[in-house]
């Protein structure tokens, strides 16, 4: 069994082991693979693993031995699923491996915006506290979260985990979700009847929905205009959920207070992004998923997925 991992560095930059996959076949791991090199590297493989390398129908046409594609992520839009079905190729993903890590990053962004710990720590180091006339000083308003409304779009694993943390801060959670009002009530969550209600009422709005035709640019100029001038937007989901130009304009004009994002439309943003220079916009480089604990779970599930396929009982199938 020939197994090829096309872009293994992101999941395993060297602090984890590939031994689990090595036990299942002849494994070749590439840190990164350019589009023009995919066919040469994957030719003859029965199993290929990818994180962000695109596997198109055209490539599948030229890889008759290919029987399985394992996506080392939850999102699987990097694979042409209809083409995989036509070729009888099983495609799997890795669900729920980074739930708590991503929820933690949501709160890291939120607490950064509300308390600006690093900013104040740096100010102390440069002597600003020492020269202050009072026992205390602040460079930004300190914002208490208790009693504020935490809005969520999407209540899957990560959205639900984030909601629980928000509740632990004393926040009222309002969610736009396919779950029934009765189910949400059991979770202590109010159901938003529309996006408009959610955007109007949320003091903090966090995005946890998949990227689809419906949710592309879910956050746009019209909906941003509904938000409070004190509102905070957090996006750890997918970059294209947000119209970056519209968000940058809203931030620069002070129509919302701040944004924290871990994802952008283009990653890396080689052509730039209007959010990079936007006022009160804090950007992390798509690292919410990447704690060692989360990556260990990802690797373990990836091995289990391949084993299940080889045993004739594939799991986490998305094709």
Question: Tens digit of pLDDT per residue, the chain (319 long)?
Answer: 999 999 999 999 999 999 999 999 999 999 999 999 999 999 999 999 999 999 999 999 999 999 999 999 998 999 999 999 999 999 999 999 999 999 999 999 999 999 999 999 999 999 999 999 999 999 999 999 999 999 999 999 999 999 999 999 999 999 999 999 999 999 999 999 999 999 999 999 999 999 999 999 999 999 999 999 999 999 999 999 999 999 999 999 999 999 999 999 999 999 999 999 999 999 999 999 999 999 999 999 999 999 999 999 999 999 9
C-alpha dihedral sign at 235, 173, 217, 295: positive
Residue 20 to residues 25, 26, 208, 285, 305, Cα–Cα distance (Å): 10, 12, 31, 29, 11
Please indicate whether the domains covering 2-97+292-310 and 99-283 agree at the CATH topology level: yes
Tokens standing for residue 247? 């968000």
Please give the radius of gyration of the chain, using alpha carbons only, rounded to the nearest integer. Answer: 22
Q: What is the pLDDT of residue 186?
A: 96
pTM for the structure as a whole: 0.94
Tokens standing for residue 299? 């690797």
CB 258 within 8 A of CB 285: no
Q: What is the pLDDT of residue 60?
A: 98
Residue 2 to residues 5, 19, 21, 28, 46, Cα–Cα distance (Å): 10, 15, 11, 8, 6
> Can you name the CATH fold of 99-283?
Rossmann fold (3.40.50)
Q: What is the pLDDT of residue 229?
A: 98
Residue with token string 């283009």:
266
Q: What is the pLDDT of residue 19?
A: 97
CB 179 within 8 A of CB 155: yes
pLDDT > 90: percent of the chain: 99
Neighbouring C-alpha atoms within 13 Å toward the C-beta of 202: 33
All structural domains of the chain with their residue ranges: 2-97+292-310, 99-283
Q: What is the pLDDT of residue 252?
A: 98
Q: Give yes or no: 67 in active site.
A: no
Distance (Å, whole) CA 80 – CA 18: 26
Q: Evaluate whether the domain defined by 2-97+292-310 bears CATH number 3.10.20.30.
A: no
Distance (Å, whole) CA 252 – CA 280: 8
Phi-psi region of 170 (alpha: psi -120 to 50; beta: other; left: phi over 0): left
Q: Give yes or no: 172 in active site.
A: no
Q: Give yes or no: 120 in active site.
A: no
CB 29 within 8 A of CB 23: no
Task: Considering the candidates 120, 200, 286, 296, report the single residue annotated as catalytic.
Answer: 286
Task: Considering the candidates 109, 208, 223, 238, report the single residue annotated as catalytic.
Answer: 238
């Amino acid at each position: 069994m020939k197994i090829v991992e096309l872009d293994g560095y992101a999941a395993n930059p060297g602090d984890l082991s590939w031994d689990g996959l090595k036990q299942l076949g002849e494994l070749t791991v590439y840190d990164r693979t350019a589009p023009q090199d995919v066919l040469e590297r994957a030719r003859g493989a029965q199993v290929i693993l990818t994180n962000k390398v695109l596997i198109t129908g055209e490539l599948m046409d030229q890889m008759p031995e290919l029987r399985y594609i394992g996506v080392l992520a939850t999102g699987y839009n990097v694979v042409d699923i209809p083409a995989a079905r036509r070729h009888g190729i099983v495609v799997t993903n890795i669900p729920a491996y980074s739930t708590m890590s991503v929820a933690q990053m949501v709160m890291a962004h939120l607490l950064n915006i509300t308390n600006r710990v690093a900013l104040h720590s740096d100010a102390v180091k440069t002597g600003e506290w020492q020269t202050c006339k009072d026992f205390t000083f602040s460079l930004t308003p300190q914002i208490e979260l208790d009693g504020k409304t935490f809005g969520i779009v999407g209540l899957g694993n990560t959205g639900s985990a984030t909601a629980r943390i928000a509740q632990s801060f004393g926040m009222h959670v309002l969610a736009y979700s396919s779950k029934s009002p009765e189910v949400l009530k059991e979770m202590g969550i109010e159901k938003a009847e529309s996006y408009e209600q959610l955007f109007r009422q949320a003091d903090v709005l966090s995005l946890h929905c998949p990227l689809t035709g419906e949710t592309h640019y879910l956050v746009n100029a019209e909906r941003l205009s509904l938000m409070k001038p004190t509102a905070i937007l957090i996006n750890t989901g997918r970059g294209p959920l947000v119209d970056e130009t519209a968000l940058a304009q809203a931030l620069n004009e002070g129509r919302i207070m701040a944004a924290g994002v871990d994802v952008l439309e283009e990653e890396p943003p080689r052509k730039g992004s209007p959010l990079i220079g936007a006022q009160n916009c804090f950007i992390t480089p798509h690292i919410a998923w990447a704690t060692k604990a989360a990556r260990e779970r990802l690797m373990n599930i990836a091995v289990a997925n391949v084993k299940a396929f080889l045993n004739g009982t594939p799991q986490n199938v998305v094709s």
